[in-house]
Chain A
């Protein structure tokens, strides 16, 4: 009984991993060109947001001194 129970417990994750990896194998993967294109788009977006964010954070420094 105990062994059977254990088998049931391990069965769910193993099946899950098997299904999951089968699914990933079936997936169309991005090719190099597509990948680089997306990296550029996402990268430009992140850097733009980040630089603006950082500049605003720099404005904080004098304000911090003024109010604290």
Chain B
């Protein structure tokens, strides 16, 4: 029972940490829409620059740039860390429980509370640790005083903590789907729309303005200088270019196609004769979680490596930057992919293996694994065609494991293809956003159908 004590360590913090109360009644559809929309607004408003950094400061090369889209983070804004602390803490505890390092019975109220509090505590601690790493390692420019550093740190860590709580609001059923994933999806959707149709002009060189959106820039200049504008749109690197946008849109289409692959298990009713039906098990059983896990691991390794490189003596620092961090990051472009094959292979292997490993752990521990599903079948008097009761669990587990592992590998390959073509993390972010979008959509539709008398529902119903 040593594992149990680990969770009990959190007990003193229980009254100290702010907690979102679980809704007492069912939250209505309209309220859910309101909560989701307003939390989305808060997230978007947090994309403001950090106050106190020198004006016109820009990072010359941001080592985390390719990781930020995956976590809805935006460098040099309050969203410096994005949802990284929340997501990391979530994965740590899911894995600890899944691999039985801590014993927790989530159907017991106190256990569940302790588990959630521990997760929240870790998320808060991580927000602070990550911020300290950035401050100590010289990520920010030299500031005037220790007070100025503290002020910047307070903003970054503070936003991380606030989003820990905002995600909890969504997770506890006030909104649709999962909080962290909703924010990430919102960030990805915003960046895609901006890249395609952003109307605002950006100063890219003295006296030269370019439209943020690829399509807008093309339409605006196609008549006056067709060839020059086409060339700019295809090759520019300071703003999104046409190939990147096409790549992102193509990824979405491919993902939606695979999202609906499923194996239909033949089922029959045990009470009524000759009632046959099919129970679908999705290929993407674990959704995009395995990819998010792989990138969470990568971001944490890179933050730790960044810290080591800044404080460790020279030989260690060079080893970390030149080998560990180099091989565990995607090549910056298609040329880079071809020029450094070892990096391509090592990075690819890391993503695929960690995604597949996570999928295999997750599918057997999360709520809908074979055992629970079999119990559910029994309750609804459903039987798998041609299977006896005893072998149902085994059969379901087998199908679910194969589905989630194959799905994870497939998603990993898709995100790797986009990385190799120079997606800079945007491809992986799209993979996660589409997966999260589907969960969101399903939640939305099922709530909508149960919604009954809803004002939004009547408006939406008219539009359908």
Does chain A have a CB within 8 A of B263? yes
Contact call A38/B256, Cβ cutoff below 8 A: yes
Contact call B187/A38, Cβ cutoff below 8 A: no
Contact call A27/B437, Cβ cutoff below 8 A: no
Contact call A27/B192, Cβ cutoff below 8 A: no
Contact call A53/B261, Cβ cutoff below 8 A: no
Contact call B200/A58, Cβ cutoff below 8 A: yes
Measured between C-beta atoms, what is the minimum distance from A13 to chain B in Å? 10
A57-B194 CB under 8 A given contacts A39-B256, A49-B40:
yes
Residue of B nearest to A59 (CB): B45
A64 is contacted by which of B48, B262, B410, B441 (Cβ under 8 Å)?
Answer: B48
Measured between C-beta atoms, what is the minimum distance from B284 to chain A in Å? 11
In the bound complex, residues from chain A placing their C-beta under 8 Å from that of B48 are 60, 63-64, 67
Measured between C-beta atoms, what is the minimum distance from B175 to chain A in Å? 13
Contact with A along B39-58 (1 / 0, CB 8 A): 01100110111010001000
Contact call B406/A19, Cβ cutoff below 8 A: yes
Contact call A34/B283, Cβ cutoff below 8 A: no
The CA of A56 and the CA of B191, in the complex, are separated in Å by 12
A47-B256 CB under 8 A given contacts A42-B437, A64-B48:
no
Does chain A have a CB within 8 A of B193? yes
Measured between C-beta atoms, what is the minimum distance from A56 to chain B in Å? 4
A49 is contacted by which of B55, B186, B256 (Cβ under 8 Å)?
Answer: B186
Does chain A have a CB within 8 A of B90? no
Does chain A have a CB within 8 A of B161? no
Residue of A nearest to B444 (CB): A45
Residue of A nearest to B185 (CB): A49
Contact call A28/B200, Cβ cutoff below 8 A: no
Does chain B have a CB within 8 A of A5? no
Contact call B193/A47, Cβ cutoff below 8 A: yes
In the bound complex, residues from chain A placing their C-beta under 8 Å from that of B259 are 38
Contact call A27/B193, Cβ cutoff below 8 A: no
Does chain A have a CB within 8 A of B198? yes
Residue of A nearest to B212 (CB): A54
Contact call B47/A57, Cβ cutoff below 8 A: yes
Chain B interface: which size bin? Answer: 35 or more
Does chain A have a CB within 8 A of B403? yes
Does chain B have a CB within 8 A of A24? yes
B47 is contacted by which of A19, A60, A68 (Cβ under 8 Å)?
Answer: A60
B403 is contacted by which of A23, A49, A63, A67 (Cβ under 8 Å)?
Answer: A23
The CA of A29 and the CA of B258, in the complex, are separated in Å by 8
Does chain B have a CB within 8 A of A26? yes
Contact call B441/A41, Cβ cutoff below 8 A: yes
In the bound complex, residues from chain B placing their C-beta under 8 Å from that of A42 are 252, 256, 434, 437-438, 441
Contact call B41/A28, Cβ cutoff below 8 A: no
Residue of A nearest to B440 (CB): A45
The CA of A39 and the CA of B324, in the complex, are separated in Å by 40
Contact call A46/B192, Cβ cutoff below 8 A: yes
Residue of B nearest to A38 (CB): B256
Residue of B nearest to A64 (CB): B49
Does chain A have a CB within 8 A of B376? no
A50-B256 CB under 8 A given contacts A42-B438, A68-B55:
no
Contact with A along B239-264 (1 / 0, CB 8 A): 00000000000001100110111111
Measured between C-beta atoms, what is the minimum distance from B217 to chain A in Å? 15
Contact with B along A9-30 (1 / 0, CB 8 A): 0000000100110011011111
Measured between C-beta atoms, what is the minimum distance from B90 to chain A in Å? 22
Top 7 nearest A-B pairs (CB, nearest first) are A53-B190, A50-B193, A30-B260, A50-B189, A49-B189, A20-B406, A56-B44
**20 interchain pairs (CB within 8 A)?**
A20-B409, A24-B283, A28-B263, A35-B260, A38-B259, A39-B253, A41-B441, A42-B252, A42-B434, A45-B437, A46-B192, A46-B193, A50-B190, A52-B44, A53-B186, A56-B41, A57-B194, A61-B200, A67-B48, A68-B51
B contact residues vs A (CB 8 Å cutoff): 40-41, 44-45, 47-49, 51, 55, 185-187, 189-194, 197-198, 200, 252-253, 256-257, 259-264, 280, 283, 402-403, 405-406, 409-410, 433-434, 437-438, 440-441
